[in-house]
Structure 1
Amino acid sequence: MRNRGAGMVSANNSSRLLLDYKAEHPEAYCEILEYIFGEDGIGVNHLKLEMGSDINSSSGTEPCVMRSAHERADVTRGAGYQLAADAKKINPDLTLDMLWWSEPRWVSDVDDLYAARYQWYKNTLDAAYETYGLKFDYVSAVQNERGADLEWVKYLSVHLKSERDCPYDYAGIKVVGGEEVCTWGFADRMYEDEELMHAVDVVGSHYTSCSTARAQQLAREYGKELWFSEASSPMSYGQGTYRFDGTHSGLSDLNGVLDIANRIIGMYPNGGMTLYEYQPVVSAYYDGVCYCQKQLISAADPWSGYYLLDSGFYMSLHFSQFLKKGWAFVDSGCFSDGKPGGDGHAIVDAVYSYMTATDTESGDYSTVIANTTPEPIAYTFRVSAVDKASAPVGVWETRGPDGGSYDAHYFKKISDIIPEEEQGAYTYTVLVKPYSMVTVSTVTPRRTEYKNKEASEQALLTLPYADDFAYENYPPDYLTSRGGAPRYTTDQGGAFEVEQTESGNALVQQITAHTRAKEWGFTPDPVTCFGDDRWYNYSVLVHVKLDPSEEPAKNYAGVGLRYTLACNAVSGYSIRLYQDGSWALLAQDTVKARGSIGDFDPGAVHALHIKAEYNVITAWIDGEPVAEYVSRSESLMGAGRGALYSAYHRNCFSRLVIRPTADAESYITRYDNTDVCFAYEGAWEHQTATGFKHYKRTISQGKEGAVCIVRFVGTGFSLFGETGKAVLSVVIDGGEPRSVQVCETGPREISYRCDGLAKAAHTVRITVAAGTYSVDGMEVIGGEVPGF
């Protein structure tokens, strides 16, 4: 079998901010795309797009290109199709695929479901070609990770093959089936149904490196391809976790770099799969969404153009730079003894893990090896029957630091080896260090050095900031080229797009109860968030016009700040105004104050204004103060982005203005609990592979008597993270101990804060006096914010 290479899934809002990189920093956008699709980068050669339906398909909403049966398909909505067009300029041989999580309501609610669904598919294919010249090579027929409708799969295949009214040969589009999680039941159905066997060209499965014997028989005897059609990127924080991951590499643990490398290596010998599709490659959405801290490249700072080549990027180079698409796998050089474990997707207990492929034309060959054990492993190569059996090989290594920078040993050439002839073959030995990976190859990459951007380039989005949604200083087609998407926003529920109204441009929430698609997982009421999550003390003002509704007590528009957890329905603090004149002030999803406005005009434009100043939240409506909430004994939300909220109505937002709070620190610098500004003594448990609600997926828990020491420069600090009740003894700069009662807090919430210190270097010693205490990270105020 031949290596199909690396694929990428662009879905779930994961590519959204790339539109802003393209508009604000086109040079950074081009660099990112070169790293993803270029020969010198990850070399992605297959791109699968979500056919969006305006529901949250995990990390956000992917816009629907057809919101009614009569609407002309608009593939400028979302980033996917535009990304595909730009990627094809870099790699013309890139193949394209598309898959649906949910489908538009006008499709799912009609009697002739198949005809409506096919109309959606075909009109999308037509529009992609008409708008961007895109030709799709594949379409995924089944719903993502849900039971397959086999009759629909056959219907789609037959109709594509018989299609004549199309801009290119739709009969040549191959059909992908399966898309299940860790199972291959679809393969079994193909054996039971000759028409289905004929209809399907590829079978994919998600989050498993293993397949069944019957699935592999499809490849050997029927010529069907098997794909690892949705697969994880690493979810580790290499910059900090090397201190506490148990191996001091920053590469180990569940869903870490070496785990993912083992999944890629094992997919062929244990599954007969030839393509590994990363989901996602680039996280071009804001932190705090479902499954965040999962990427090869992070791109969440479009105002500065900053991006991060994460540890997984360097892991991917071990494959992309040495094993090319079309190379033949060498069965005797492919092996993995790891097995599924942990969360069911991870590869655990692996000792020997290696993958080999060769270019049958040139005779070049490469072997990728991962070692997830605490001991070095020596591999002896015996090479014959390839043209370059006697050729020198280079050894490229990625491993943890030796007391220096966390990435000092990422993708480094460590030796050249000249094989020795022995009984008709050529032999040599390579020693693979503990918790590392190497590639042994006759190929020398064209590019051998990759330099990440400096943290100082991660510039702050400074306040004040305003958006009138007119974009007069941008090209005339700025909005039409991006489906009306406003600058710097990511939708988590609903769809927020700019429209021309009687009073000028406004941001309009598009989805109503009548057009809302069926859920795939969970979608909150419409909400979009925007801006820098280092904003701390600031205010947000926006003008709203409520869409007339038959249920005025349920229709609302709102504005919020300190938004950090998009995976929650509501995050931070917000003020909502309802069509019946009532209002509510919320902390997270809890109402802290209510009221009603006399002589309320539901058809007028109203100003909503909310301000955060340390632990005091104040709200105004039409310039009149309506509520003040002071967080005292309760948990407090720290820094975060702005947000706009809406019910499922076409509510309008205009004249957005964000200002710093006078006489208060406007910004913070955020640190993870594994960063070097933290030190620990005593009984601490450090988890470096936790859930996405924890910052960087890490958290540390200390028992009674445990000590945490933090060092920073600034006027104050806050510790945040999910913890139970505890008593702390806090000593600041060697002063007198102070006893602090910590309340129960949720993820990302502040459990302890201290303001009003002199602007200087400080050392704080925190002892757990009673109970257990967890810390996820620290926010420093009054210090120098990187990039500011």
Structure 2
Amino acid sequence: MTILKRGASMVSALVMMISGAGAYNCSAEGTTVNDSNTNNTREIVIDGTTAQLKENMRYRGAGMVSANNSSRLLLDYKAEHPDVYEQIMEYMFGKEGIGITHLKLEMGADINSSSGTEPSVMRTEDEKADVTRGAAYQLAADAKKINPDLTLDMLWWSEPKWVSDASDVYAARYKWYKNTLDAAYETYGLEFDYVSAVQNERGADPEWVKYLSSHLKSEKGTPYDYSKIKIVGGEEVCTWGFADRMYEDSELMNVVDVVGSHYTSESTENAQKLAYEENKELWFSEASSPMAYAQGTYRYDGSGLAGINGTLDIANRIIGMYPNGKMTLYEYQPVVSAYYDGACYCQKQLISACDPWSGYYMLDSGFYMSLHFSQFIEKGWAFVDSGCYSDGKKGGDGHAIVDAVYSYMTATDTETGDYSTVITNTTSGPIQYDLKVSGLDKASSNVSVWETRGPDSIDGSYDENYFKKTEDITPTENGGAYTYAVTVKPNSIVTISTVTPKRTEYKNADESERTVLKLPYSDDFEYAGYPENYLSSRGNAPRYTTDQGGAFEVEKTDKGNMLVQQITADMKANEWGYTPEPVTTFGDDRWYNYSVNVDAAFATSQDAGSNYVGVGLRYTLGCNSYSGYWIKLYENGSWELKANDGTLSSGSIDGFDGTASHKLKVEAVNNVIRGYIDGNMVAEYTVNEGESLIGAGRASLFSSYNKNSFDNFSAEPVEGSDTYVTRFDETDSCFTFEGNWEHNLMSSFKNYKRTISDGTEGDSFTVNFEGTGFALSGETGENAILGVSIDGGDEQLVTVSRTGQREISCHFEGLSEGAHTAKVTIKSGKYTIDAMQVTGGKIPFEKKKPAKSESTKSGKSKLPIAVGAGICAAAAVGAVIYGIARKKRKENND
């Protein structure tokens, strides 16, 4: 993680960092801070005679892992904004973008495999495989239209229960594999080039690998030649034990074509022998995308690209995979984050696409980093051994490359003589590289230099220096070689190439294009006005939903379409990691004061006391068992009003009919939560000082592992209150810090944008915003007292107890409409700030008409958004202060 300490003179210190002067009090784990590098010089010898010409060791390009729900919302982009979907797909798979050459799909099993559930194509042994479920196979079909040479692979995390419970597991598993291959071809015309035989990141079974290979090779009458499908083994985390097994088992050696490993740029001697002596391919078969929030963190680390899991760290992993591991393919997981914020590992992507109603997407800093490879090096190029080097070592979270000084990779087109060298500098000073080129047809050709780095000043745009050509160079002949020099600035990535990029300008989206999904919003799951095949084309997935547990699909019944939770306890697959009880979440995480309503019906069960349905709001963290406020109703008539997994109130309904449909409603107005059943309010709870308050979040539906059903969902604004918020990270420009704050610029995904700032007594910060109130959130582990002054008024004291991640520690409401400034000073204890949500401001709504199946009622709303320099424009909360507390839990900081 990157942790920076902030002194009082923020602007002058930042300017010194950006200029590379290095006087800022900065200690960034994973980044070498070494002012002696100012006059650093390094020679790169690019000798074409050292090009690695073995076919299995040539550059394979960039891969993508589509798994654990990460592609789900692309289905909605495709349906609601097909032109935008096409743009995103072109950026991922097209030659002018990342140019993905290999796509690996998760063979889903209806369990959570990290960030959500991938649905199973065969829930029972006799079911015909249905590859329309989930986004993966449709994504592959659309990607193949853009890049017909795209190779396909599939891998299992968990497997259907009928497979794991079979008397002959190998035969059942093979049936699952083969039927999936058959269905993918029958439905989409997909031909798979590879299958990953082992379970993702779990112990390998060599006998199963051999079984799979022999049966594929003996198949007759298949839609294409299954004997040509190559077998991928390994898929371990940071280890290469599978390579050792291959040397112990000659039959295993013969059937495996590729060995992959996850989250390591290094490989073992045995693994590298597989490449050199056995002609096997080695892949970085699951690898991270950048997790950094460059838009705000550049104000603190000078670039927004540095630190563990930052953009330059990921570039170093790609560069290091060949010289240190002889790996040829780097598979990003994920490329596009097409799931909602708050999912496990969120803020991890090259492209963000989580607002399908607006069509908004963002090309993140990692996208521009990827261009330094994809626009200059093509699949099939040969690595030039003399021009590849990486001195970084594994450290930090175990996956990162730390303490790197010299990091570069060179590859050449053996037919044309073109070559490209990618270099990173993660030190605090510039490094001059003297390049000496020989043995290539274009050794004497002019080269261009392309650079990505942070802004020139604190007032600059974070991406103003992304993917810019900085110079053209004519090499000088020198003793039979051609030489030239390039200076690589601190915290930057550079590509030097004889190749002209296919595209040189990329327009990133403006944040104002990210419009709010306006309330009221409803879904009766009929989708009138949509194409007739709307549901069948997407495996009957409802609009705008992402499942965290279970599987929610639309079914046609005698009462019309109903949303039904499909997974029962007796068919639930064995866990790969952890799956919450069935829950699907949908809508906009900027919804704050609103109600959600649904008609719910029980599937009759033997245990009415454990069969339940629920509806919720303010859902913020998909990685938790439960999230937000929700009303939970059991088949026996008992009920609970819940906050996350805690119970606020409970009771039971006399004479309850568990065979009938029941109307459930939950409503939140600031700190007041109400639950309704069949039109009757059964609970009202006021969140008082000393209790946790959950801020704005999405709607959700809950179920036990029973085939319970839902209909007539609606989300409506609450009259007389502010419906929406605008959320800001604490690294955004509307925050100014004074004192000795520690800024963690790479924290847990459970924190907004993966950043968090910690202060102690005497430290303070100022926020500027436009609206009628503000709320501060962040996990605080111990009691603190804050002094809060608004618009220069008297300081008010706020007591803050323990507060969970993404939960509100204090908020103010009832301010006059307009611009405000609040100063917050820590009077005693320690305090953590993660984000601010503002209510009562100006909100950007869609200008287009809603879909026909959506309610056309117009809700009470505010005005369009406008963000001024240094002011957070938004909505707000008022003159009542809440000190919020919650027992701290142990949580993983992944």
Provide TM-score, normalisation by structure 2.
Answer: 0.88
The answer on whether the counterparts of 1:144 and 1:179 sit within 8 Å (CA) in structure 2 is: yes
State yes or no: 1:668 paired with 2:718.
Answer: no
- What is the aligned partner in structure 2 of residue 76 from structure 1? 132
Partner SS state of residue 313, structure 1: helix
Question: Which residue type is aligned with residue 295 of structure 1?
Answer: Q
- What is the aligned partner in structure 1 of residue 482 from structure 2? 426
- What is the aligned partner in structure 2 of residue 683 from structure 1? 740
| Aligned pairs for 1:232-243 within 5 A | 232-243=288-299
Structure 1 counterpart of 2:810, from 734, 745, 752: 752
Whole-angstrom CA distance in 1 between matches of 2:145 and 2:221:
27
Structure 2 counterpart of 1:329, from 361, 383, 391: 383
- What is the aligned partner in structure 2 of residue 779 from structure 1? 837
Whole-angstrom CA distance in 2 between matches of 1:730 and 1:464:
35
- What is the aligned partner in structure 2 of residue 399 from structure 1? 453
Which deviations, in whole Å up to 9, do the C-alpha atoms of 1:583-636 show, x marking residues without a partner? Answer: 000011100100001110000000000100000001110001100010011120
Overall identity of the aligned pairs, in %: 70
Partner SS state of residue 593, structure 1: strand
Per the TM alignment, residue 785 of structure 1 is displaced from its structure 2 partner at its CA by: 2.4
Whole-angstrom CA distance in 1 between matches of 2:402 and 2:94:
32
Which deviations, in whole Å up to 9, do the C-alpha atoms of 1:235-291 show, x marking residues without a partner? Answer: 00000011123xx10000110000000000000000000000000000000000110
- What is the aligned partner in structure 2 of residue 650 from structure 1? 707
Whole-angstrom CA distance in 2 between matches of 1:431 and 1:786:
44
Per the TM alignment, residue 503 of structure 1 is displaced from its structure 2 partner at its CA by: 1.0
| Aligned pairs for 1:329-478 within 5 A | 329-403=383-457, 404-478=460-534
- What is the aligned partner in structure 1 of residue 179 from structure 2? 123
| Aligned pairs for 1:506-545 within 5 A | 506-545=562-601
Whole-angstrom CA distance in 2 between matches of 1:212 and 1:318:
28
Whole-angstrom CA distance in 2 between matches of 1:700 and 1:676:
14
Question: Which residue type is aligned with residue 434 of structure 2?
Answer: T
Question: Which residue type is aligned with residue 296 of structure 1?
Answer: L
Question: Which residue type is aligned with residue 820 of structure 2?
Answer: H
Structure 1 counterpart of 2:252, from 185, 196, 218: 196
Structure 1 residues without counterparts, runs of 5 or longer: none
Whole-angstrom CA distance in 1 between matches of 2:221 and 2:810:
65
Aligned residue pair count: 786
Question: Which residue type is aligned with residue 764 of structure 1?
Answer: A
Whole-angstrom CA distance in 2 between matches of 1:725 and 1:467:
43
- What is the aligned partner in structure 1 of residue 74 from structure 2? 18
Whole-angstrom CA distance in 1 between matches of 2:823 and 2:843:
23
State yes or no: 1:178 paired with 2:210.
Answer: no
Per the TM alignment, residue 165 of structure 1 is displaced from its structure 2 partner at its CA by: 3.0
- What is the aligned partner in structure 1 of residue 855 from structure 2? none
- What is the aligned partner in structure 2 of residue 299 from structure 1? 353
Whole-angstrom CA distance in 2 between matches of 1:579 and 1:2:
60
The answer on whether the counterparts of 1:339 and 1:348 sit within 8 Å (CA) in structure 2 is: yes
Partner SS state of residue 549, structure 1: coil
Whole-angstrom CA distance in 1 between matches of 2:372 and 2:312:
12
Question: Which residue type is aligned with residue 491 of structure 1?
Answer: D
Per the TM alignment, residue 375 of structure 1 is displaced from its structure 2 partner at its CA by: 1.1
Partner SS state of residue 44, structure 1: coil
- What is the aligned partner in structure 2 of residue 638 from structure 1? 695
Whole-angstrom CA distance in 2 between matches of 1:155 and 1:221:
25
The answer on whether the counterparts of 1:455 and 1:786 sit within 8 Å (CA) in structure 2 is: no
Question: Which residue type is aligned with residue 285 of structure 1?
Answer: Y
Which deviations, in whole Å up to 9, do the C-alpha atoms of 1:753-786 show, x marking residues without a partner? Answer: 0000000110001100010000000000011124
State yes or no: 1:110 paired with 2:166.
Answer: yes
Whole-angstrom CA distance in 1 between matches of 2:78 and 2:692:
39
The answer on whether the counterparts of 1:54 and 1:63 sit within 8 Å (CA) in structure 2 is: yes
Whole-angstrom CA distance in 2 between matches of 1:604 and 1:165:
51
The answer on whether the counterparts of 1:669 and 1:786 sit within 8 Å (CA) in structure 2 is: no
- What is the aligned partner in structure 1 of residue 636 from structure 2? 580
Per the TM alignment, residue 419 of structure 1 is displaced from its structure 2 partner at its CA by: 0.2
Which deviations, in whole Å up to 9, do the C-alpha atoms of 1:90-149 show, x marking residues without a partner? Answer: 000000000000000000001100000000000000000000000000000000000001
Per the TM alignment, residue 446 of structure 1 is displaced from its structure 2 partner at its CA by: 1.8
Whole-angstrom CA distance in 1 between matches of 2:835 and 2:787:
18
| Aligned pairs for 1:227-266 within 5 A | 227-245=283-301, 248-266=302-320
Structure 2 counterpart of 1:92, from 148, 152, 161: 148
- What is the aligned partner in structure 2 of residue 485 from structure 1? 541
State yes or no: 1:502 paired with 2:528.
Answer: no
- What is the aligned partner in structure 1 of residue 335 from structure 2? 281
Partner SS state of residue 544, structure 1: strand
Whole-angstrom CA distance in 1 between matches of 2:774 and 2:428:
38
> Which fold has the larger relative contact order, with Cα–Cα distance below 8 Å and residues 6 or more apart in sequence?
2
Whole-angstrom CA distance in 1 between matches of 2:97 and 2:233:
29
State yes or no: 1:4 paired with 2:67.
Answer: no
State yes or no: 1:309 paired with 2:366.
Answer: no
Which deviations, in whole Å up to 9, do the C-alpha atoms of 1:531-589 show, x marking residues without a partner? Answer: 00000000000000011011100000000000000010111100011000000000111
Whole-angstrom CA distance in 1 between matches of 2:685 and 2:366:
43
The answer on whether the counterparts of 1:394 and 1:440 sit within 8 Å (CA) in structure 2 is: yes
- What is the aligned partner in structure 2 of residue 743 from structure 1? 801
Whole-angstrom CA distance in 1 between matches of 2:783 and 2:752:
20
Which deviations, in whole Å up to 9, do the C-alpha atoms of 1:428-453 show, x marking residues without a partner? Answer: 00000011110000001121000011
Partner SS state of residue 768, structure 2: strand
Whole-angstrom CA distance in 2 between matches of 1:642 and 1:519:
26
The answer on whether the counterparts of 1:558 and 1:577 sit within 8 Å (CA) in structure 2 is: yes
Structure 2 counterpart of 1:570, from 619, 626, 629: 626
- What is the aligned partner in structure 2 of residue 142 from structure 1? 198
Question: Which residue type is aligned with residue 756 of structure 1?
Answer: G
Instruction: Please list every run of at least 4 consecutive aligned residues from structure 1 whose deviation after the TM superposition is greater than 3 angstroms.
Output: none
Question: Which residue type is aligned with residue 684 of structure 1?
Answer: W
State yes or no: 1:152 paired with 2:208.
Answer: yes
Whole-angstrom CA distance in 1 between matches of 2:456 and 2:796:
38
Provide TM-score, normalisation by structure 1.
Answer: 0.99
Partner SS state of residue 259, structure 1: helix
Partner SS state of residue 617, structure 1: strand
Whole-angstrom CA distance in 2 between matches of 1:725 and 1:149:
51
Whole-angstrom CA distance in 2 between matches of 1:473 and 1:315:
41
Whole-angstrom CA distance in 2 between matches of 1:684 and 1:363:
52
Partner SS state of residue 90, structure 2: helix
Per the TM alignment, residue 506 of structure 1 is displaced from its structure 2 partner at its CA by: 0.6
Which deviations, in whole Å up to 9, do the C-alpha atoms of 1:497-544 show, x marking residues without a partner? Answer: 000112110100000001100000000000000000000000000000
Partner SS state of residue 318, structure 1: helix
Whole-angstrom CA distance in 2 between matches of 1:112 and 1:2:
40
Whole-angstrom CA distance in 2 between matches of 1:718 and 1:393:
52
Whole-angstrom CA distance in 2 between matches of 1:37 and 1:12:
20
Question: Which residue type is aligned with residue 272 of structure 2?
Answer: Q
Which deviations, in whole Å up to 9, do the C-alpha atoms of 1:201-232 show, x marking residues without a partner? Answer: 00000000000011001011111000000000
The answer on whether the counterparts of 1:282 and 1:295 sit within 8 Å (CA) in structure 2 is: yes
Q: CA RMSD in A?
A: 0.6
Per the TM alignment, residue 166 of structure 1 is displaced from its structure 2 partner at its CA by: 1.0
